[in-house]
Structures are given as structure tokens and as C-alpha cells.
Amino acid sequence: MAVGINAMPVTFAAHVVALIAAIMVLVWSISFRGGLAWEAENKNLIFNLHPVLMLIGFIILGGEAIISYKSLPLEKPVKKIIHLILHAISLSLGIWGICAAFKNHNESGIPNLYSLHSWIGIGVISLYAFQWLYSFILFFYPGGSPNLRSGLLPWHALLGLFVYVLAVGNAALGFLEKLTFLESGKLDKYGTEAFLVNFTAIVTILFGALVVLTVSAKSPSTPSPVDDDDETSYSYSAI
């Protein structure tokens, strides 16, 4: 089912919003929170890697991986490789981002995995890894039978979109949680930083919405005469 809008302009809007979100999280972490570091005396700098890697690496690159499959005017085998590589990079940066949060907690004597955000976070990254792994085996190498692939493709698209929406929601929860910690200290509730963090969360949600809209929009016609997966009639649009 495709909604009556072309994927291409939605995709461009998504790229612009992604760029804005990336700039916002970098300005927050570097200018307001003191910068980024993997090794540092100031453990907050280690934490700062977490939102940057989760937003730019996991959410934005993951979103680009999803929309690349729908919007790039390339042949299906090429799109498939771009899709799986972008998802692999996004998963790796997401895992690194979570490691940064754990490292910050461990080196600061803060307990791990006590919040709803962290529980959903572990669920999201595990589902994402599971989705990537079975899809690689099924759709890329060694590959399932054509029947199996076309039967499981709707589940792949549905689970992928579900996990992605959950990730975007959890990122918003992360911004809320960090801002609440800061505001329970000295941070001005109506100050510049508070607005920056809240608006970064809003822009993240807007990006997520544009990714979902791209997936449900009409695909540009692709020069793909070969249907190696019996997926041509499907191509991500039948969500």
C-alpha cells in the first residue's frame, strides 16, 4: 500500500532534517556539554559520545539505510548492498554508542540498566542486530528459496519499521531523561540549552516521521528488469 505522494521529495526533506538534527546534537555535546572523548578524567565527556553516536550513527544512518532502498534509482542488487552496508554501519555505531554509556556509568560508579530508556535501548539494539543477521542470511548470503524470501519480506519490512520507530521514540526518551537530570541540578528550565535539547528531540521525531513517510510513499521507477527475489512488486512499499 503506497500513499499518494512521491518518495523523492520526502527523501530530500529527510536529508535536510537529518543534517539539522546532526548539527544540533553536535552543538549540544561540544559547545554546551564540553566535548567528546573515549578516555577522559571528566567522565561526562565519555557520556557525550552516547547521544552523538545514537543519533547520528544509529538513528540517522539507520533511517538513510531504510530510505535508500526505497528512493535510490538503482538496480535492486546494488540497492540491497547499500541497504545492508548502511545498516551494518548504523548497528556498529549504535553498539559503540551504548558502550560509551556503559563506560561512563562504570567509570563514574553509576549502576547500569536501571531505567526504562536503557531497557528499551537494549531491546532495540538486540532486535536490530537480529533483523540484520537473519536478513543477511535470507536475502543476501547464502540466501533462502524465492518462496521463503517473498513470504518473509513483508515481515522483514514490518519488523524493520517497528524497531526503527521504537528507536526514535527511545532516543526522545533519552533526551528527556538527560534533560531531567540536568534540570534537577542547576540547568535553567527555560534556558537556551533546555530548548536546544527539547528541539533536538522534536527534530529527531520529525526525521523518523519522514523515514516512515518515505517507506509508504510511491517509489520512483527503477531500471530493474531482473527480479532476483520476486520482490519487485513489493519493494518496501507494501507496508
Query: Which residues make up the interface to ligand HEM (CB under 6 A)?
Result: 50-51, 54-55, 58-59, 98, 101-102, 105, 112-113, 115, 117-118, 121-122, 124-125, 167, 170-171, 174-175, 177-178
What's the min distance (Å) between Cβ of 1 and ligand HEM?
Answer: 27
What's the min distance (Å) between Cβ of 121 and ligand HEM?
Answer: 2
Pick from 114, 90, 97, 89: nearest CA to 48: 97
What's the min distance (Å) between Cβ of 37 and ligand HEM?
Answer: 16
Question: For residues 59 and 207, what is the distance between their CA atoms, to the nearest angstrom?
Answer: 9
- Cell readout for 233 is 512488486
Closest CB to ligand HEM among residues 84, 101: 101
Closest CB to ligand HEM among residues 7, 197: 197
Question: For residues 84 and 94, what is the distance between their CA atoms, to the nearest angstrom?
Answer: 15
Closest CB to ligand HEM among residues 180, 232: 180
Residues in contact with 35: Cβ distance below 8 Å, sequence separation at least 6, in sequence order: 29, 45, 48
What's the min distance (Å) between Cβ of 99 and ligand HEM?
Answer: 9
Closest CB to ligand HEM among residues 80, 117: 117
- Contact yes or no for 32/179 (Cβ under 8 A): no
What's the min distance (Å) between Cβ of 169 and ligand HEM?
Answer: 8
Query: Cα angle at 50 between 100 and 183, to 5 degrees?
Result: 120
- Contact yes or no for 75/61 (Cβ under 8 A): no
Closest CB to ligand HEM among residues 51, 63: 51
Closest CB to ligand HEM among residues 22, 215: 22
What's the min distance (Å) between Cβ of 191 and ligand HEM?
Answer: 17
Query: Cα angle at 207 between 198 and 43, to 5 degrees?
Result: 50
What's the min distance (Å) between Cβ of 219 and ligand HEM?
Answer: 27
Closest CB to ligand HEM among residues 10, 55: 55
